[in-house]
Structure 1
Amino acid sequence: MRLQNPTRLERRLGDTETSYFLPSRESGVNDMYLHLGFSAQAQALQRDRVAHVWAILRLKHPLLACSVEMRDYNDLRFILNPYASPEAVLQSADENLIYRQETKGELIDSYLNGPRTLSAQRLSCVIISQELGQFSPGHSRPNRSAMRAEDWFDYDFLLCTTHFIGDGMALHQCANDFFTLLSSKTSSEELHDILKEEWRIRYGSQFSEISLPRSLEERLPLSSGKLQRAASIVDFELSQGRLLGGHSFPRRKGNDRKTVVPTVAFDEDRTRGMLKLCKSRNVSISSALFAICNIAWARTRNDNPHLPVMMYSALNLRPYLSADELNDSYWFIAISYFNVVLPGFLPTSHVEKMFWHRARSAKEQSTRAAKHRMIISRSREMAKERGERARCWAKEDDDKVNGTDMPPPPPLMATVAVKLPSTALIGLSLLGNLDGIYRHAAFPQIRLHTLTTGSRQRSGAMLLFGYTFVGKLWISLGYDENGFEKGVVERFWENVLTAIEELLL
């Protein structure tokens, strides 16, 4: 995409982007957030400085500053209106920068359960909050009149973006870049010079070749011919047909959605012990968490022990994508999904031996999904299927609102094939060691101490997160507490923590 002095830049959404955009229209389903709790001195969080950092990132990563225009279900477009000046970039960033005086819990609850923060016209924003009178633990609490420039305070940071412009890896890399630049010794005047140079590169008279990051589907290598494409379709259908899962949490309907995110962090010594134990058993903590959930569910409510338990997780496709010659932004969505299937029964003895066996099975299934020779074609077919399904459901929803929906066709009298159950119990978002992304030494003026992440959910949704951050293992469960039979999810969560204590510590 090469435009000389463009008045507007646009491109169509790909299938994966579409599958996330269409469900988000009504109430922001899948809108992501990343919360970071940190300590800093007050001067580091001056609004003008924060706005400059946010403006620079929005220039470097244009999808953050786009809007979406929907012409029809098959024609959705990112729209970027170029900035007339560096000052216009700064103004736009400031309009999408929010300062509050709320606790972490209030911030997250408001984002997850309150009115939608984002929209098709606002795809990202940053929220900075300091609870009134809050000082960093370990530092004295002086009188307001005695505050000094060197005093440290506790702050909460929320990076909010729609899911169709990026994934978890983009979210965390952006936060690392944000705090690296914010904590640098660069003066406010120097930050403004950086902003002006970034604007000149993209919109100035000397160089105006700009583009939006290409979609996942555009960057996946293409099949070489008709025969290979046909084989890809057959392989995908066969792989989907082999998925078998007969367990799900009992749901309740008719209640307003309320997402909660109970979170537990294990201290550094216990985390090191768990990681060492997993390594000695030749598995990762991520693989172990699949087995932990498997056992926790069997102890919670296992009505169908003869059927396997299926769980799903995201698959990072970035290593398989071709380069984007005109845009080096990491803000784009590049994920697919895979499933782990484990037995549904729980033996009465040798539970520990069975646990490690299932953890190794989870590792093998995860590795097989990530390294399968058909991973590219399977990811392409899955994106196509998800896009088509999202368009179909979006039209059905719109027809209901407009009163033009048609009754479903009558059921067939006879069915030749019997469809096997393929229900997933839960999704796991396993982010790995985030200390490999957050270069804490690069921002000594900022001390990160807490991380929570998730998204606005649809009714009856659930997702378990596991990651290592500041040397600690964090486990959190985001779920709609009004969407499930009372007490079942709470017992499952207790059983998850008990199984970790029993088998990993």
Structure 2
Amino acid sequence: MRIHNPIHLERRLGDTETSYFLPSRASGVNDMYLHLGFSAQPRTLARDRVALVWAILRLKHPLLACCVEMHSYNDIRFVLKPHASPEATLYSANENLLYRQGTTAVSLHLFFSELIDSYLNGPRTLSAERLSCIILSEDHSYASESVIPSAESDTWFDYDLLLCTTHFIGDGMALHQCANDFFTLLSSKQSTGELYDFLKEEWRIRFGNQYTEISLPKSLEERLPHCSGKFQKVASMVDFELSQGRLVGGHSFPRRKGNDRRTVVPTVAFDEDRTKKVLKLCKSHDVSISSALFAICNIAWLRTRNDDPRLPVMMYSALNMRPYLLQDVLNDSYWFIAISYFNVVLPGFLPTTDVERTFWHRARAAKEQSTRASKNRMVISRSREMAKERGDRAIRWAIEDDGKMNAKSCVSSPPLAATIIEKPPSTALIGLSLLGNLDGIYKHAAFSQIKLHSLTTGSRQRAGAMLLFGYTFVGKLWISLGYDENGFEKGIVETFWNNVFSSMEELLL
């Protein structure tokens, strides 16, 4: 006999969530993945243990286990129908845990690269009914070369994990924090039985009593401090419009249309010694590697193509809004999207001499603009206005797309730079996702039974999209470029990518 759980939780999507949900409907635009390569012993990765950890996280972070119901363009809802027992919760986690077995004929790395390619370019893995899943790949044909087992321990093997979620339930910080918690629980000294007891207790706290006060995590807009009074609201709108009007950018990658989208993510990792050199050099010039990467992209592009040096180069990046949010007293989950956007504008010309001096000057300019965006006293109101603009635009485009009954038009979602106004010249060259030092999030010492060695990340993109990632992980600097290889003029992105690294070699290494 099936037991019915009377608890039913739902809430409307906020503006930012809506701006990501509507374009995702047709083909999963912006569905995120986080890939982690690691070594472990088989007993640590036993399926029953992995499923228990995944079930616990889905309880703690309910948006992972929600579905989405769209009643109208202005009424889209997260819906959680909690399972009636811990056993049912575990069963659901297992349904969203996919194991993939490597073969002796194909290396695990190549096999998993094919899985990532399938996630990015094949049929959509996620849906409005499945907002998250884990894919785990294993191959016990070969022992790991990165870990030498002691006489008393079992052999270690290499594994790859893909944590997949829609973008409208969270951001990069949520992805990485979740992965850290996943490995911490998985590597803990708790037995499988003790993990099951933990799951039962987590379920009991939340759903064992239907009168328990629980809720879904609030949206970004609900968490932002509100303006008080009509004058402040008008002032916020005027300030936002003025800030947008100051954005000028006249450079873009020439695009090709009519080809099927195919996203690739070439990735390069610098060894620890070279990474230390880069970080030390940036510190000596009072900039971060993130600021330096803006300047590197600026110079790399101007060495690739420069149709109009009179116009500046504009790039955009995400702004972490979590430090500005009000506490959600009914839910302590970190799984929600909390980002806004800002732009960095640098000159569109490159002097023939003293390029090094120019580079550091532009890196400092990027730092100043980034700091100004995050520390501006209007940052909260600007983020709120930007979210509203993005949400309204997504609704308008969704209505237009649905009216045409053309699924392909849903792929043409707005770029991540919400600050790009359709008033030329105000074009962004590229987006940069600068994640900083991820070793500050991954507490490697907390999961000694697992040794992480690689990390890549990205998302299913719209046609003609491009996003550069930069971060440090396991002491290495990683640079990757996710882009639609069929969406741009032949050879130009490859030339730019080569110029990124030749410029880094010249100026940072």
Same fold judged by TM-score > 0.5?
Answer: yes
Q: TM-score range by the shorter chain?
A: over 0.9
CA contact (8 A) 2:139 2:157 kept: no
Distance 1:503 1:402, change over 3 A: closer
1:137 aligns with 145
- Return the offset for 1:101: 2.2
Residue 126 of structure 1 pairs with residue 134 of structure 2: yes
Residue 452 of structure 1 pairs with residue 456 of structure 2: yes
Residue 252 of structure 1 pairs with residue 269 of structure 2: no
Amino acid at match of 2:441: I
Residue 378 of structure 1 pairs with residue 382 of structure 2: yes
| Higher alpha-carbon deviation: 61-70 or 6-15 | 6-15
SS of corresponding position for 1:276: helix
CA contact (8 A) 2:6 2:210 kept: no
Measured in 1, the distance between the counterparts of 2:21 and 2:431 equals: 20
Which residue among 453, 471, 496 is the counterpart of 2:475? 471
1:287 aligns with 291
SS of corresponding position for 2:311: coil
Measured in 1, the distance between the counterparts of 2:112 and 2:351 equals: 41
Measured in 2, the distance between the counterparts of 1:85 and 1:10 equals: 20
Matching of residues 294-443 of structure 1 within 5 Å: 294-401=298-405, 419-443=423-447
CA contact (8 A) 2:433 2:467 kept: yes
Amino acid at match of 1:394: A
1:113 aligns with 121
Residue 43 of structure 1 pairs with residue 40 of structure 2: no
Measured in 1, the distance between the counterparts of 2:146 and 2:189 equals: 25
Distance 1:458 1:131, change over 3 A: farther
Measured in 2, the distance between the counterparts of 1:20 and 1:14 equals: 10
Residue 483 of structure 1 pairs with residue 448 of structure 2: no
- Return the offset for 1:106: 1.1
CA contact (8 A) 1:201 1:207 kept: no
Amino acid at match of 1:375: V
Listed one character per residue, the Cα deviations across residues 3-50 of structure 1 (whole Å, up to 9, x for unaligned) are: xx7431100000000000000000000000000000000111111000
Residue 161 of structure 1 pairs with residue 169 of structure 2: no
CA contact (8 A) 2:303 2:499 kept: yes
- Return the offset for 1:131: 3.8
- Return the offset for 1:398: 0.4
Measured in 2, the distance between the counterparts of 1:341 and 1:497 equals: 21
Measured in 1, the distance between the counterparts of 2:370 and 2:16 equals: 21
1:14 aligns with 14
2:26 aligns with 26
- Return the offset for 1:166: 0.2
Distance 1:140 1:191, change over 3 A: closer
Amino acid at match of 1:116: R
Listed one character per residue, the Cα deviations across residues 135-155 of structure 1 (whole Å, up to 9, x for unaligned) are: 2115689xxxxxx97011000
- Return the offset for 1:206: 8.1
Distance 1:304 1:444, change over 3 A: same
RMSD: 1.7
Measured in 1, the distance between the counterparts of 2:344 and 2:210 equals: 52
1:76 aligns with 76
Unaligned runs of 5+ in 1: 142-147, 406-417
Distance 1:149 1:401, change over 3 A: farther
Residue 277 of structure 1 pairs with residue 281 of structure 2: yes
- Return the offset for 1:62: 0.2
CA contact (8 A) 1:101 1:132 kept: no
Distance 1:371 1:275, change over 3 A: same
How many residue pairs match? The answer is: 483
Measured in 2, the distance between the counterparts of 1:293 and 1:419 equals: 24
Distance 1:391 1:206, change over 3 A: closer
Listed one character per residue, the Cα deviations across residues 253-296 of structure 1 (whole Å, up to 9, x for unaligned) are: 11111111110000001101100000000000000000000000
Distance 1:118 1:419, change over 3 A: closer
TM-score normalised by L of structure 1: 0.94
Distance 1:95 1:347, change over 3 A: same
Measured in 1, the distance between the counterparts of 2:474 and 2:140 equals: 26
CA contact (8 A) 2:220 2:337 kept: yes
CA contact (8 A) 1:42 1:149 kept: no
1:243 aligns with 247
Amino acid at match of 1:34: L
Distance 1:402 1:355, change over 3 A: closer
CA contact (8 A) 2:67 2:78 kept: yes
Matching of residues 52-91 of structure 1 within 5 Å: 52-91=52-91
Measured in 1, the distance between the counterparts of 2:378 and 2:96 equals: 41
SS of corresponding position for 1:70: strand
SS of corresponding position for 1:35: strand
Measured in 1, the distance between the counterparts of 2:126 and 2:484 equals: 20
SS of corresponding position for 1:133: strand
Amino acid at match of 2:361: H
Measured in 1, the distance between the counterparts of 2:210 and 2:89 equals: 18
Matching of residues 144-183 of structure 1 within 5 Å: 150-183=154-187
- Return the offset for 1:208: 1.9
1:415 aligns with none
CA contact (8 A) 1:258 1:480 kept: yes
Distance 1:419 1:183, change over 3 A: closer
Report sequence identity in percent. Answer: 79
- Return the offset for 1:420: 3.8
Distance 1:202 1:139, change over 3 A: closer
SS of corresponding position for 2:463: coil
CA contact (8 A) 2:53 2:182 kept: yes
Listed one character per residue, the Cα deviations across residues 375-404 of structure 1 (whole Å, up to 9, x for unaligned) are: 00000000000000000001111001179x
Amino acid at match of 1:90: L
SS of corresponding position for 2:279: helix
Amino acid at match of 1:186: Q
CA contact (8 A) 1:431 1:467 kept: yes
Measured in 1, the distance between the counterparts of 2:156 and 2:200 equals: 31
Residue 225 of structure 1 pairs with residue 229 of structure 2: yes
